[in-house]
Structure 1
Amino acid sequence: MFSQTLRASRSSIARVAKQQASSMMIKRTFITPTAVRQADLVQDLYMKELKAYKIPPVKAGDADAHVQKFSPPKAPKSPEEAEIANELKAYEAQTVEIEGQAEGGAAVEEVDWFEEEPEEETVHH
């Protein structure tokens, strides 16, 4: 019997909650703003000017002032054929340097830079 009263109370509580929720929804729909809209002169002027503004037409030549014309880089100068021939002849005319020979083909005295000189003996008194 106690369980039946619990069930009945639960269902009645749920029913009352639904009725209150629906009455709250109805109340919300009937609420209207009570503040009267006052005239905002600055906003009205701003909106009037925005509506009256006409965008200037875009011309095809307008971008010319902001874009640079492309010009390809100049081609590099090619070396002259005569200079190459003269440099090749000068290279062929050079004498070959061989280690241990002087310019004329004479033998050069070799100096051994890593040879240590003998130390002189000091006399003790």
Structure 2
Amino acid sequence: MSILFRQATVVAHQVSRTRSFASSVVSRKDLIQDLYVREIKAYKPAPIPKDAHVGVVKQYSLPPTPKAPTPPADLASQLSAYDATEPAVVVETKAAESSEGAGEGGADAYLAFLEQDLPKVEHHH
């Protein structure tokens, strides 16, 4: 018995001197994962019938071809009548007077304000 004890001591001493990275791996099985994988492997999808698209997909038909517009028969007379008319000018006197009275002169006053020289800054010593 002492020989076995001595051998066990020597082996234990050698194991403790060398670095061992091996560890006893406890195999823990994940029951949920195993069940999931088994069900995935056992799944057989139902075959798709050839006429499955009927009623879901609408039949495509081309829209009717548009017709080119036809110019009026008296185009020259309509163009000359258009050239003879004066454009309608809308006068907004009330809007212009109210905007000037409020201190705003419109676009011209704004542009004049932008063109003014900047005032010189006086430095206090």
- Asked if Structure 1 and Structure 2 have the same fold, meaning a TM-score greater than 0.5 normalized by the shorter chain, the answer is no
The structure with more radius of gyration? 1
Q: TM-score, normalised by structure 1?
A: 0.31
